[in-house]
Structure formats: structure tokens, C-alpha cells
Amino acid sequence: MISTNQFKTGMVLVFDGELYTLVEFQHVKPGKGAAFVRTKLRSFKTGNILARTFDAGEKFEDAFIEKRSLQFQYRAGTTYHFMDNETYESQAFEAADLGDAAHFLMENMEVKAEFYQGRLMGMELPTTVVLQVTESDPGLRGDTSKSSMKPALLETGFKIQVPLFIEPGERIKVDTRNGEYLGRA
């Protein structure tokens, strides 16, 4: 059990039977009345932010999140196969379980996976990845009336907006946090 006095940003706890990550918290001691804690919690299930106020000293169940290093091996349809770097066991996950991480996975890429009671909760990818553009419309000269961006399909099947000068076959850097173009590789 964990008390509100032991809160730390990034901590994972069980509240109302669900997992939440503590995004932000503030201890408040008003002039009158008892102290309390204002929090912002992110749901693991939906990703929504929940604002809650708790009494000082209130206790919660601390969720033990196991972090393991995995290496991405290959993709077969919507199933992604990984190898555990410590035990060398093969593990398979569906694209729905991986979420947005599936858009950036390249063969032999190492990731940190988070498990709760043996169930995959999320993956920590490198901040940037280098991917090849497979399809892209040709950029027209003088077409700067819009934001001078065009859609491009990457080798992983992910669509991204890139500048007009990017051609098919080029390798580009992509931010895995928001899926934005960062520059040529």
C-alpha cells in the first residue's frame, strides 16, 4: 500500500480497480480544514487524464510494473513477434496491444516493454527512428499555398506529413512520441 505522502510523478497505482499513472500532484494545506492532495491521473486503459482530490494520508494499492528489454523480430499480419533479451523466449503481441508503437517498429529494434500481472501495458521506444519513404506524391514547384507538406507512406505502413522535397526511397527521422517528421537521415 502507498500513501498520498509518498506520491511521485510517474508512479503507477490502482484506483477504482484500474491502473493509473500519476501525472501531476500537489499537496495543499488550507488555513482551515484538513490537508488534501490534488492529482492528475492518466488511465492505462483509455489514456484519458482524470483530476481527483484525495485526503492527506489516504492509501492506495501500488502496482508493480515489470520492465523487460525486448527485441522486435518480425511481423506476420497483425501479429508482432519479439524476443526477450534475458530469457531468449519468443513472445507475440497483436497490433492492438502495441498501440502507436506498431507504426515505428523495425526489425532488430530494442524496446522496453512494461508488464502488469503478465499483461503488456505499453512500450518505450527510442525518441527518434529512421524510416524509409516508400510512397510519396511528387512535390510541385510553387505549391506553397498550403503548409508545403505532403503525405508520405513509410516502410512500416505509417502515413506521415513530410516537406515537398522528400522523394520515395529517402530515409527520414521521425519522432515516435507524436509521429512528426524531424529531418532527413
Position 182 confidence tier, pLDDT thresholds 50, 70, 90:
very high
Q: 133 is written with which cell numbers?
A: 519513404
- CA 30, 55, 38: angle at the middle one, nearest 5? 70
Residue-wise pLDDT tens digits, 88-132:
999 999 988 888 888 999 899 999 998 888 888 888 889 999 999
Residue-wise pLDDT tens digits, 161-173:
998 888 899 999 9
Residue-wise pLDDT tens digits, 48-104:
899 999 998 889 888 888 889 999 999 998 899 999 999 999 999 998 888 888 899
Range in 5-19, 59-73, 89-103, 140-154 the model is least confident about: 140-154
Residue 133 makes CB contacts below 8 A (sequence gap 6+) with 152, 153, 154, 155, 162, 166, 167, 168, 169, 170, 171, 172
**Which of these, 164, 158, 172, 174, lies nearest to 137 by C-alpha position?**
164
What is the rounded distance in angstroms from the CA atom of residue 152 to the CA atom of residue 139? 11
Position 140 confidence tier, pLDDT thresholds 50, 70, 90:
low
What is the rounded distance in angstroms from the CA atom of residue 73 to the CA atom of residue 92? 10
Domains of the chain: 2-62 (2.30.30.30), 66-124 (2.40.50.140), 128-184 (2.40.50.140)
pTM value?
Answer: 0.71
What is the rounded distance in angstroms from the CA atom of residue 23 to the CA atom of residue 41? 5
Residue 146: pLDDT above 70? no
**Which of these, 76, 148, 78, 68, lies nearest to 111 by C-alpha position?**
68
CB 67 within 8 A of CB 85: no
* 5 beta partners: none
